[in-house]
Structure formats: C-alpha cells, structure tokens
Amino acid sequence: MALIVQKYGGTSVGSVERIRNVALRVAKWQRAGHQVVVVPSAMAGETNRLLALAAELQPHPDPRELDVVAATGEQVTAGLVAMALMECGVAARSYTGWQVKVLTDSAHTKARIMSIDDTRIRKDLAEGRVVVVAGFQGVDAEGNLTTLGRGGSDTSAVALAAALKADECQIYTDVEGVYTTDPRIVPEARCLQTVTFEEMLELASAGSKVLQIRSVEFAGKYKVPTRVLSSLTDPMLPVAQEAQAGTLITFEDDPHMAMEKAVVSGVAAQRDEAKITVHAVPDKPGIAYAILGPIADANINVDVIVQNVSHDGMTDLSFTVSRGDLPKAMKILKDQVKPHIKCKEVTGDDRMAKVSVVGMGMRSHAGIAAQMFRTLAEEGINIQMISTSEIKISVVVDEKYAELAVRVLHKAFELDQE
C-alpha cells in the first residue's frame, strides 16, 4: 500500500462532469489499496473571475482581502470533490488550508509555506478516508488567510507529499506529461518518460508551463518523486497502467533513469521577456549593484545579465525582466538610478523572447553551444544575449523568431526521435 498525493488542475475540475471523473479516478486508487490525499485547484477561470470582481471594487486590491477572496475558489472545489467521492461510495473529508494547517509567512498573494500539521490528515487516512485539501492557500502566524501565488496548488501538493512522506506526488493536468517542447509549436514533440528535477527546474525557468517553478524547487529539495500525467484519459484505466503513465520527475541516480541521458532533453521558450540596457556607465566596482539593487528592492526578478567590454572606462549593462515589469523597472532606473550613476541613457525593448535547450547530458558533451548557435545562424536568427548553466543554454532573441527557433533547435538535436 502506498500513500499518494494527487493534484488536479483547473481544467481537470472545470465542470461537474470532470469532477465526477476525478472522483472515479481517486476511488479507483483507493480501492486498489492506496491511501490518497487530493489537492484540487479552483475550477478553470474561477480565480480570474474572483480577481476581476475584486478589481472592480478596488483598482489596487488590499492584498490581505484579496487573499480572502481568491482562496474561496479552491475551497469550493475541495467540497465538491469530497461530495463526488461520497457519491462513489468513498468516505471523504475536505479541509481548507487553515484547517490542516498549512502555515505560511505573511507575504499576501505570494506566501511561502513554513510548515504543515499533518495530524488530522493522518488520522483520516488511518480511518479509511480520502482527504481533500484545498490547494493554493494557507494561514500565517496571525491567523490571516494567505495564498501562494499563481500555480500555488502544485506547491501545496508537493509540500503535503513532503510532509506526509508520500510515495509519489501525481500532478494531473490537461497534457500527457512533460514534452520535449511545446507540442502546439512542434507537433512531433515527444512525451518524456523520465526527467530529472534539475532538468525540470531549468525547463520551468525557461518557459515550460507544465509545472510551477516553486513546486519543482520544493520537490527537489525534499526528494518527492513527482509524476505529471493527464486527467483527460479514461478514469477507469487500470492503476498498474496509470502508475507508469506520464512523466516521472526524479533524481539522476534513480534506477528509473536511463544509464546515459540524452544530450538535450528539451527546448523551451519564454515570450514574456523584456530587455533593458543602461548605456555608458562607469566601469568600476559597485556599479552593477547600484543598477540592480533598486530593481531587486522593487521585487522585480532579473534573469539574463550581460556587461559589455569596457571602453574608456565606460561600459553598457543589459539585463532581462518580465515584460509586465518593464514599465516599473524603467521608471526606477530613470528616476532613481540614472541621476545617481550618471549614465548616458536607459533603453527598453519588450519584444524579446528567451529560447533554451536543457539536458543533463550537456555536462559530458562538448559542442552543444556551437551547434545551437550554428542552427540559429543558418535561419538568420540574431542572438542578442546568452546565458548558460551546467545543463542549460539560453539565448535572447527577437520575439518574432521564438517559434522558428524552437522548431529548428528541436529538429537539430533530434528530439523528435525516440
């Protein structure tokens, strides 16, 4: 008997009929002898509806009250899933995040989980119940409701799996697993059987939308085997078959992994990119902090950073931010930074995309960067910025070339081949 945490996304619980299918699937796992904890998201579109209502009343909603509103979407779904399970003849009980209690910090709308009290969950499981815990939410030390930010139900599920020492955390979505790239761009993209946490983290940071990046970090930190699979398949698919479906996210030394990984596992694109260049700044110690410090203080994440070669004691510093953060970042640089460092000018371009190739095999294979750059050059795609890690190479290009870059790189690295 295994303890399984199953998370269902908004599409998976998007209607009464799909909630019934979720209940059938969960009941199947329990009747096969497993203990099951279910973490549902809000029904598809519900969180956006709630946020829109709040914005109608208050253009810049109070974060504490916004969390109170947004947390109700998952609470509704948790109750409905529990009811559907009861109709299937399965004993079930639902809990909100504060009932369990999922303790978080007080950063409303983007809280981080500090600890989870699993006492009530374990008691219910021992008594033969399926436990349904509303995702995306928790409570701070002062008793205030908090939410974990977009995609937070993934993090809730992985955190519960870690606290319960679950055998596996299963993330049910509307796709079959983790693909070599977005199949909407490349129809030949393949569903990967296994991928390491390191690769998944890099793919998520590079633009893959299958899993929320914080959930991958959490799973890797606490060594929670995580499987991504589809909720749109037959809910009565035999458990033995479903247990091998989708993509298993695990560790490099896991026996499930191939003896030698493919050089490149996937290609990802992130279109939500903007490039900022601070021109002609003094090339001296502390200048990068003088520029990027105020950006960090404004809670704006910086991704790729490039500093040019110095000429006559002056240099240019370029970096990327999320497209939505560009206006705020430009204002900070022009109002606060430019007068202080006496730079020539600050320019921004919101028509950028980041394209990345990721693979554990890159550690032991030379020439990956050269092949990537040659492939892009042959298509006339100009590389504006480059960033690398041990298992990832990212380039910033004009947004209009993003899909072309993904297609040609996917083919160049033979990712369409088994």
Condensed to tens digits (0 to 9), the pLDDT of residues 141-185 reads 999 999 998 888 999 999 999 999 999 999 999 889 999 999 889
Compute the average pLDDT of residues 294-308: 90
Distance CA 81, CA 310 (A): 61
Q: What is the pLDDT of residues 188-199, one digit of tens each?
A: 999 999 999 899
Q: In this predicted model, which residue has the larger pLDDT, 365 or 33?
A: 33
Backbone angles phi, psi at 18, to 5 degrees: -70, -35
pLDDT band at 130 (very low <50, low <70, confident <90, very high): very high
Instruction: Name the nearest CA neighbour of 159 among 169, 173, 151.
Output: 169
Per cent of the chain over pLDDT 70 is 97
pLDDT of residue 397: 96
**Residue 367 DSSP SS3:** coil
**CB-based burial label for 299 (10 Å; 0-12, 13-18, 19+):** exposed
Task: Tell me the fold of 266-412.
Answer: VC0802-like (3.30.2130)
Which of 210, 71, 95 lies closest to 154 in space, CA to CA? 210
Listed by start position, the domains of the chain span 3-175+210-250, 266-412
- Between the alpha carbon of residue 166 and those of residues 221, 223, 249, 273, the distances in Å are 14, 10, 15, 37
**For residue 260, pLDDT beyond 50:** no
| pLDDT score for 257 | 54
pLDDT tier at 325, thresholds 50, 70, 90 = very high
Q: What is residue 2's predicted lDDT score, i.e. its pLDDT?
A: 95
Kindly report each contact of residues 381-384 with a partner whose C-beta sits within 8 Å and lies 24 or more positions away, as own/partner: 381/405, 384/275, 384/352
Work out the mean pLDDT of the chain and round it to a whole number.
92
CATH architecture of 3-175+210-250: 3-Layer(aba) Sandwich (3.40)
HSE at residue 146, side-chain half, CA atoms within 13 A, is: 23
pLDDT of 188: 93
pLDDT of amino acid 213: 82
237 versus 262: which is more confidently predicted?
237
The predicted structure's pLDDT at residue 202: 87
For range 206-214, the mean pLDDT: 79
Q: Residue 271 in contact with residue 355, Cβ under 8 Å?
A: no
Q: What is the mean pLDDT of residues 355-383?
A: 92
**pLDDT at 341 (0 to 100):** 84
d(CA 211, CA 181): 14
- Residue 278 in this model has a pLDDT that exceeds 50: yes
* 266-412 shares the fold of 3-175+210-250: no
Give the percent of the chain with pLDDT over 90. Answer: 75
Determine the pLDDT at residue 404: 97
pLDDT for residue 259 is more than 50 = no
Put the strands of the sheet holding 92-95 in their side by side order: 92-95, 130-133, 35-40, 3-8, 168-173, 226-230, 247-250, 194-196
8 A C-beta contact, residue 411 and residue 403: no
Query: Counting Cβ atoms within 10 Å, is residue 59 exposed (0-12), middle (13-18) or buried (19+)?
Result: exposed
What integer pLDDT is reported at residue 262 of this predicted model? 67
Q: How far apart are CA 29 and CA 77, in angstroms?
A: 20
Is the pTM higher than 0.75? The answer reads yes
Mean pLDDT value across residues 231-242: 93
